[in-house]
Structure 1
Amino acid sequence: PAARAMVSQLEGAMETLINVFHHYSGKEGDKYKLSKKELKELLQSELGCLLETQKDTGAVEKIMQDLDENGDGEVDFQEYVVLVAALTVACNTFFWENA
């Protein structure tokens, strides 16, 4: 994009959130949704340390089930944001209680 004015930290975080979703969602099927395979790749690459998905083979299945509110077998952007928000709340609690 053309040069922009400096974005705030929160605006930058929102842009990153959007870009990460679309980086993984565009690989197969509907480019506006994450398939189970795309979700697994995103979780392992972007949130592996937090979720430890590599160790628990059922973790991705459970997360997919919890997130997929409309039952279509895919995670749309709104469902993805719910995951990120829930993890952010959990991290906030953990870091503030252990500060």
Structure 2
Amino acid sequence: MQKSCEPTLGESCVMSLTALFYKYASKDGDASTMTKKEVDEMLKCEFPAFYEESKESDVISALDQDKDGKMSMAEFMILISALSCVCKQLIDTLSQSK
């Protein structure tokens, strides 16, 4: 008999990021990609600390590897990676200043 267990932290994070992508990507009826408007709304609502900075640059153009003007799940994960690196740098800077 298999034990029932809770998802690990890593599994929970992956499931949450996938749900976040689909939450915004599905707003226009096509859940496979996010439009510029959907990306903007996601950044504004889900990442407000980074939103002001993201308005200065065209996030989709910077990450749009296939140049279709939309953000795929793979391109979304690149964005999440970049945001994670920025967070780590902030944490490192704050811990060094103590």
TM-score by length of structure 1 reads 0.83
More helix by share: 2
2:31 alignment partner in structure 1 = 31
2:20 alignment partner in structure 1 = 20
2:87 alignment partner in structure 1 = 91
Aligned to 1:52, what secondary structure does the other structure show? Answer: helix
1:76 alignment partner in structure 2 = 72
Offset at 1:16?
A: 0.5
Identity of paired residues, percent? 25
Residue 51 of structure 1 pairs with residue 51 of structure 2: yes
Structure label with greater radius of gyration: 2
Residue deviations 1:22-52 (CA, integer Å, cap 9, x gap): 0000011522100111111111010112332
Cα RMSD for the two superposed structures: 1.7
TM-score by length of structure 2 reads 0.84
Letter in structure 2 aligned against 1:92: K
Residue deviations 1:50-90 (CA, integer Å, cap 9, x gap): 3325xx7444xx11110111110100000000000011011
Unaligned runs of 5+ in 2: none
Counterpart contact for 2:33–2:71, Cα < 8 Å: yes
The CA distance in 2 between the partners of 1:39 and 1:15, in whole Å, is: 19
Counterpart contact for 2:27–2:38, Cα < 8 Å: yes
Give the ranges of 4+ consecutive aligned residues of structure 1 lying more than 4 Å apart after TM superposition. none
